[in-house]
């Protein structure tokens, strides 16, 4: 979407990506204790890959950027981390259980980053609105 | 004699979102009684005002749609905020453009001959 209020749209794309980032962290934290029998599918942590939105019909760097977008979602290790829990009903013959590779400390640090980035984009949106209003309120 | 101001293009013609509708060609009667075409350049008052109103209509329609989607849970709150903010700015822009144009018209009309 392109409009005359491009700064608001650009900041809005940042807010949208940050929201997806927070959503992925939320999913990772919610699933960090999903145990599984080794060899069966285990939850893979989701990591967003963000990239610049390249304006249509112009090579990168030749025009003002129009925002950011989610390029792809990278996944954590498929085999998970093996923990020895013989009493777990999901344990295999060796008494091992697979857990998703999700480090809570890393996720919390990412959450703080995502929240700060969200606030920064919201601030850009609010300030660009103020700027647009300033030019509209000129009384000759 | 200054030609009469041509009619403003209909707002209802801009039901499609963001679709700028070309204004209908206007005409005016000059002092001699003959019909003279009004300039249709991109900078004419008719075009500027018509495009501003059409853009405003499309933006406010979009804001309404996205707000309803956000209330229904199918659009994000950020999208609704962006759409309503842009509608707010578009309203102010249309208002400013109209005020400036009317102000310019009044300046000409109040000229002392």
Residues in chain A with pLDDT < 50?
1
B82 to chain A, closest Cα gap in Å: 7
pLDDT at A56: 75
The answer to whether B78 contacts A136, with C-beta atoms less than 8 Å apart, is: no
pLDDT tens by residue, A78-100: 889 999 999 999 999 899 999 99
The verdict on residue A76 lying in a domain is yes
Whole-number Cα distances in Å, B21 to A53, A59, A124, B102: 29, 31, 32, 22
- Higher pLDDT pick, B14 / B44: B44
Q: What is the pTM of this model?
A: 0.71
The ipTM, to two decimals, is 0.71
Q: Centre a 10 Å sphere on the Cβ of residue A101 and count the other Cβ atoms it contains.
A: 17
Provide the domain limits for residue A16. 6-136
Average pLDDT, chain B: 73
| The pLDDT value given to residue B16 | 40
Residue B71 has pLDDT above 60, yes or no: yes
A contacts of B82 (beta carbons < 8 Å): 8-9, 12, 15, 125
Interface of A with B in 2-31 (CB under 8 A): 3-5, 8-9, 12, 15-16, 19
Flag if A16 and B93 touch (Cβ within 8 Å): no
| CA separation for the pair B57, B72 (Å, rounded) | 23
Spell out which residues of chain B touch residue A125, defining contact as CB-CB under 8 Å. Answer: 81-82, 85
C-alpha–C-alpha distance, residues B92 and B78, integer Å: 21
Mean predicted confidence (pLDDT) in B78-99: 88
Number of domains in chain A: 1
Is A1 domain-assigned?
no
Our CA angle for A96, A97, A98, nearest 5°, is 125
Question: According to the model, what pLDDT value does residue B65 have?
Answer: 94
Pick from A80-84, B1-5, B53-57, B94-98: least confident = B1-5
* Arithmetic mean of pLDDT, B45-53: 79
With CA atoms as reference, the chain B residue closest to A119 would be B78
Residue A95 within any structural domain of the chain: yes
**Quick check: B35 pLDDT over 50?**
no
Q: What is the DSSP string of A3-55?
A: -S-HHHHHHHHHHHHHHHHHHHHHHHHHTTT--B-TTS-----EEEEEEE-PP
- Annotate B26-78 with DSSP letters as a single string: PEEE-TTS-EEEPP--TTSHHHHHHHHHHHHHHHHHHHHHHHHHHHHTSS-HH
Q: Between B78, B90, B92, which is nearest A19 by CB? A: B78
């Amino acid at each position: 979407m392109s409009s005359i209020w491009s700064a608001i749209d650009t900041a809005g794309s940042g807010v949208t990506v940050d929201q997806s980032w927070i959503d992925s962290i939320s999913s990772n934290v919610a699933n960090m204790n999903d145990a599984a029998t080794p060899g069966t599918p285990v939850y893979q942590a989701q990591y967003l890959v963000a990239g610049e939105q390249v304006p249509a019909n112009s090579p990168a760097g030749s025009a003002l950027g129009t925002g950011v977008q989610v390029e792809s979602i990278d996944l954590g290790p498929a085999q998970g981390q093996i923990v020895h829990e013989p009493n777990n009903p999901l344990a295999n013959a060796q008494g091992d259980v697979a857990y998703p590779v999700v480090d809570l400390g890393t996720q919390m640090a990412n959450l703080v980053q995502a929240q700060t980035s969200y606030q920064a984009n919201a601030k850009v949106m609010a300030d660009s609105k103020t700027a647009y209003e300033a030019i509209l309120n000129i009384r000759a | 004699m200054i030609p009469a101001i041509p009619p403003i293009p209909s707002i209802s013609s801009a039901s499609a979102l963001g679709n700028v509708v070309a204004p209908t060609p206007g005409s005016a009667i000059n002092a001699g009684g003959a019909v003279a075409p009004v300039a249709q350049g991109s900078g004419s008052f008719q075009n500027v005002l018509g495009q501003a109103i059409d853009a405003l209509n499309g933006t406010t329609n979009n804001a309404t749609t996205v707000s309803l989607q956000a209330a229904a849970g199918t659009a994000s709150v950020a999208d609704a905020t962006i759409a309503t903010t842009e509608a707010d700015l578009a309203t102010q822009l249309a208002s400013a453009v109209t005020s400036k144009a009317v102000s310019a018209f009044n300046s000409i009309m109040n000229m002392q001959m």
